[in-house]
Structure 1
Amino acid sequence: MTTLTHLDDEGRARMVNVGEKPITARRAVARGEVRMLGATLDQVRSNSLSKGDVLAVARIAGIQAAKRTDELIPLCHSLPLDAVSVDFELDDTLPGVRVTASASVESRTGVEMEALTAVSVAALTIYDMCKAVDKGMVIDKLCLVRKEGGRSGVWDRTEFDDATSQPATAKE
């Protein structure tokens, strides 16, 4: 098992020194979902909620959040992001909205937290925009889907069991 890097020798929280690491291209993709009533999803789809265009506002909120991750997560490094995207899939079978975010940078550290923060804030924004008609919404299944770059290379969720992050081949 990998050692926790955000702890010093005495077990105190610390920011990891990445100064000696090489600058490489890094990318991360995260996803989550907002489950809601079918009628609420219909209003999102038809853009008929009184607060305005739910998905446009949530997209901007997610991008803005990714850019400010270091202000929200105490031990994250400030990163000059090259790109952030936030996309939505309206799914009647949930019913709800699947949120996917991608972040990329050329840096000494990864962008997993930026992608996860983008999804989280986009999902929270969807909740905020729709709560007047559906307070029972559930934000769920927030996870890293893929990360690329750095010393550990590529990690892809499709190679793992969603619940445990254990190799799918280890399942019985």
Structure 2
Amino acid sequence: MSEGDRLTHIDASGAANMVDVADKADTTRTAIAIGSVTMKPETLEMIMSGNAKKGDVLATARIAGIMAAKRTHEMIPLCHPLALTKVTVDIEPDESLPGLRVQALAKVTGKTGVEMEALTAASVTCLTIYDMAKAVDRFMVLSGIQVVEKSGGKSGDWKAPGWTDRS
């Protein structure tokens, strides 16, 4: 098994360990993750018109996603705490779902990637949308949460096949 085929957080005895990144070079690293929340057309209209009883769904979800990215290391075992330099969360309506599409970007200059921070931001944004609108639509579906782009670090830059940035 080559080094690239091994799980980096598991040692030879099977014990979990935080990866030592001390000798890695500091580079600028970014990651973009996406997700969506499918809902009834009436729910989407309520959110977009700002008439949700709990308040501004989009603003609250955006803030929740940003806060979550900053705390990823507290939620995901073995993640390094990162001094993020940028986190953005974009939420766009998509009537073809119907629902909302989420795109989260995380950026750092450091020794390890930010895919988990971008995924956490996208996930928590979707969860917050659900939480704020569940009283009127309990059958919303969260889906498609994935990393679609990353740059920096030893593994280089890549994009998911067919991905085009919506921001």
TM range (shorter): over 0.9
Residue 70, structure 1, aligned to residue 76, structure 2: no
Listed one character per residue, the Cα deviations across residues 91-136 of structure 1 (whole Å, up to 9, x for unaligned) are 0100000000000000000000000000000000000000000000
List structure 1 runs of 4+ shifted beyond 3 angstroms. Answer: none
How far residue 2 of structure 1 moved from its aligned partner, in angstroms, is 2.3
Query: TM-score, length-normalised on structure 2?
Result: 0.94
How far residue 13 of structure 1 moved from its aligned partner, in angstroms, is 1.1
Residue equivalent to 2:99: 96
The whole-number CA distance in structure 1 between the counterparts of 2:28 and 2:146 is 21
Residue equivalent to 1:46: 49
How far residue 159 of structure 1 moved from its aligned partner, in angstroms, is 6.0
Query: TM-score, length-normalised on structure 1?
Result: 0.91
Residue equivalent to 1:56: 59
The whole-number CA distance in structure 1 between the counterparts of 2:158 and 2:65 is 23
Question: Which consecutive unaligned segments of at least 5 residues does structure 1 have?
Answer: 161-172
Alignment equivalent of 2:110, drawn from 101, 107, 110 = 107
RMSD (Å), alpha carbons: 1.1
Residue equivalent to 1:25: 28
1:1-172 to 2 correspondences below 5 Å: 2-158=5-161
The whole-number CA distance in structure 2 between the counterparts of 1:55 and 1:122 is 9
The whole-number CA distance in structure 1 between the counterparts of 2:116 and 2:74 is 12
Q: In the alignment, residue 18 of structure 2 is paired with which amino acid? A: M
Listed one character per residue, the Cα deviations across residues 54-98 of structure 1 (whole Å, up to 9, x for unaligned) are 000000000000000000001100000000000011001000000
Aligned sequence identity (%): 56
The whole-number CA distance in structure 2 between the counterparts of 1:144 and 1:159 is 13
Count of residues paired in the alignment: 160
How far residue 22 of structure 1 moved from its aligned partner, in angstroms, is 0.5
